[in-house]
Chains A and B, each alone.
Chain A
Amino acid sequence: MKFIIIGFLAISSLVVLNQNTDNYTSQKDPLTESIERGSEIYTDFCMSCHLANGEGVENVYPPIAKSDYLFKNREESIRAIKYGQQGVITVNGKTYNGNMAALGLSDDEVADVMNYITNSWGNKNDKIITEEEVSKIKK
């Protein structure tokens, strides 16, 4: 009996762990490491509005998962995270007129969270966003 329980728990934890590491390669390149750090930033600073699956809330918080805005507007997206976002933007055909305050993140944190969100929930971006790239983007 005990073995069955332990076995079951082991299998279920493996499934959970696999889900978490699915997106990452086993070798840790700078992008993978940045994504991992970005995941923590996302949990702390973004998730309460944009939710765990990046889908946001219809008409209030735009989606990040499969967001056309994010991929067409790399610089604007970095600027929004760095300085905040006000006014109308169109994401996947829907307009949003929200107000995201500046998050108070440092440039390396902005890069990390950008690398995380551009490589999660079906998003894919091979061109790593660096601290240097973020530092050059002005208000």
Chain B
Amino acid sequence: MKQIHLFIIIACITFSACAQQTESEIKAESPKDLNYTTELLVPDLNIPWGMTFLPDGSMLITEKSGELIHFKDGKKTNIEGAPEVYVRGQGGFLDIVTHPDYTNNGWIYMTFASTEGGGDGGNTALIRAKLEGNTLTNKELLYKATPNTKKGQHWGSRIAFDNDGYLYFSIGDRGNRDVNPQDITIDCGKIYRLNDDGTIPEDNPFIDMENAKTAIYSYGHRNPQGMTKNPFTGAIWVNEHGPRGGDEINIIKKGKNFGWPVISYGINYSGTTFTDITEKEGMEQPLFYWVPSIAPSSMAIVSSDKYLNWKGNVLVGALKFSYLERLVLENNEVVKREKLFEDIGRVRNVVQGPDGYIYMAVEGKGILKIVPEN
């Protein structure tokens, strides 16, 4: 009997040390005949982290290193008055999005790594501002996560608006996995929801909870770098980086715990484990998880008719494998994955433009538009 016990214990330890991972059931395939190609629209960018379109068809592009670029009529102009960005590790100038009613109010929202507040290091900040000529004006700081830290990882951050005009943005766990994501009285490892002026909506889930960071909308996240409104349902969808394996797609729900790092399909970079469980009551399961990791940078859901059979598909930039992943879903379940434009480079961002075309930001290249071949 004792021997059996010992055997079981050794088996358990061996098993966890080797960290067997279940690979994603659906594997990414190369497309048989892809009738689309890319056209270089904005050349010579380094790490174009965020991009957004203005009503005149021009674009605003953030470079991670801190520049804000206005691309209009084939010309790039550096915008003055861009926020002071703390470049550290994965942090820098991050996302940029225009207000859904930009035409009338002119508000532009941006996230970036900031040293604002006390202490060494930085944390993620959200501001809004207006563009007048070639200058950002009317800058307002809407949120700044605390505390500052010199850690380089997991700043988030993407911004999206839902159909009711609420603003959502993400902040990653800032490299403090075992402290931040599961504690709603501190920042980081969260999705936040604000009114467009930065005030906190009265029906936010933790509004009445003592000491809670009341801007939090959901928690238990690792590092969500993709976020978009599902144009068909209005829900906010995110993708987030796992460690080694365990990248996820999640549909954000009010007040829910998405489990990081209590449950995960990933393991440590070193190959050891940090948790033995992938599900737990009270914690949300991802809509999809990637094992091995693709390093999902960004997300778009195709709603236009510009691409045959792509409507409703989810597009995700794969930093690690240098392609754009197309996921086909049926009843919110991934049934097919395709590697588009293999070896194109690190796909940092993907958005559907107001014209219905898909635009990709590729590191070291620029902004590429996906167009039919010929």
* CB–CB A52/B9 < 8 A: no
Judged by a CB distance under 8 angstroms, whether A10 is at the interface is: no
Instruction: Report Cα–Cα, A47/B46, bound state, in Å.
Output: 21
Judged by a CB distance under 8 angstroms, whether B287 is at the interface is: no
Judged by a CB distance under 8 angstroms, whether A125 is at the interface is: no
Stretch at the interface among A25-33, A62-70, A93-101, A127-135: A93-101
Distance in angstroms from A59 CB to nearest chain B CB is 7
Map CB proximity to A onto B146-170 as digits: 1 under 8 Å, 0 otherwise: 0000011100000000000000000
* CB–CB B89/A104 < 8 A: yes
CB neighbours (8 Å) of A47 from chain B are: 269
Distance in angstroms from A31 CB to nearest chain B CB is 23
Considering only residues 53-80 of chain A, those with a C-beta below 8 Å from chain B are: 57, 59-60
Distance in angstroms from A121 CB to nearest chain B CB is 12
Total interface residues on B, CB under 8 Å, equals: 35
* CB–CB B346/A98 < 8 A: yes
Judged by a CB distance under 8 angstroms, whether B40 is at the interface is: no
Map CB proximity to A onto B114-135 as digits: 1 under 8 Å, 0 otherwise: 0000000000000000000000
CB neighbours (8 Å) of B152 from chain A are: 44-45, 103-104
Q: With A4-B6, A47-B269 as given contacts, are A101 and B321 in contact (CB-CB < 8 Å)?
A: no
* CB–CB B270/A86 < 8 A: no
Judged by a CB distance under 8 angstroms, whether B43 is at the interface is: no
Instruction: Report Cα–Cα, A138/B271, bound state, in Å.
Output: 37
CB neighbours (8 Å) of A45 from chain B are: 89, 152-153
Considering only residues 153-207 of chain B, those with a C-beta below 8 Å from chain A are: 153, 175
* CB–CB A101/B88 < 8 A: no
Map CB proximity to A onto B209-230 as digits: 1 under 8 Å, 0 otherwise: 0000000000000000000000
* CB–CB A8/B9 < 8 A: yes
* CB–CB B364/A99 < 8 A: yes
Contact of B364 among A8, A51, A98 (CB under 8 A): A98
Distance in angstroms from A99 CB to nearest chain B CB is 4
Q: With A99-B47, A99-B346, A99-B364 as given contacts, are A104 and B320 in contact (CB-CB < 8 Å)?
A: no
CB neighbours (8 Å) of B64 from chain A are: 101
CB neighbours (8 Å) of B343 from chain A are: 59
CB neighbours (8 Å) of B269 from chain A are: 47-48, 51-52
Distance in angstroms from A139 CB to nearest chain B CB is 13
Judged by a CB distance under 8 angstroms, whether B257 is at the interface is: no
CB nearest to A61 among chain B residues: B320
Instruction: Report Cα–Cα, A8/B6, bound state, in Å.
Output: 10
* CB–CB B89/A52 < 8 A: no
Judged by a CB distance under 8 angstroms, whether B258 is at the interface is: no
Distance in angstroms from B270 CB to nearest chain A CB is 4
* CB–CB B86/A104 < 8 A: yes
Judged by a CB distance under 8 angstroms, whether B2 is at the interface is: yes
Contact of B91 among A1, A97, A104 (CB under 8 A): A104
Instruction: Report Cα–Cα, A12/B295, bound state, in Å.
Output: 32
Instruction: Report Cα–Cα, A4/B151, bound state, in Å.
Output: 40
Contact of A104 among B9, B87, B270 (CB under 8 A): B87
Judged by a CB distance under 8 angstroms, whether B18 is at the interface is: no
Contact of B2 among A1, A8, A99, A101 (CB under 8 A): A1
* CB–CB A101/B65 < 8 A: yes
Instruction: Report Cα–Cα, A44/B88, bound state, in Å.
Output: 10
Contact of A44 among B2, B47, B151, B346 (CB under 8 A): B151
Contact of A99 among B6, B46, B87, B153 (CB under 8 A): B46
Considering only residues 1-21 of chain A, those with a C-beta below 8 Å from chain B are: 1, 4-5, 8, 12
Can you sample 14 A-B contacts with CB below 8 Å? A1-B2, A4-B6, A8-B9, A8-B10, A48-B241, A52-B269, A86-B46, A97-B364, A99-B364, A101-B46, A102-B65, A103-B152, A104-B87, A104-B88
| 11 other A-B residue contacts (CB within 8 Å) besides A57-B320, A99-B363 | A4-B2, A4-B6, A8-B10, A44-B151, A44-B152, A44-B153, A60-B322, A98-B364, A99-B345, A101-B47, A104-B91
Q: Which residues of B contact A (CB under 8 A)?
A: 2, 5-6, 9-10, 13, 46-47, 64-65, 86-92, 151-153, 175, 241, 268-271, 295, 320-322, 343, 345-346, 363-364
The 3 A-B pairs with the shortest beta carbon distances in the complex, nearest first, are A104-B88, A99-B364, A52-B269
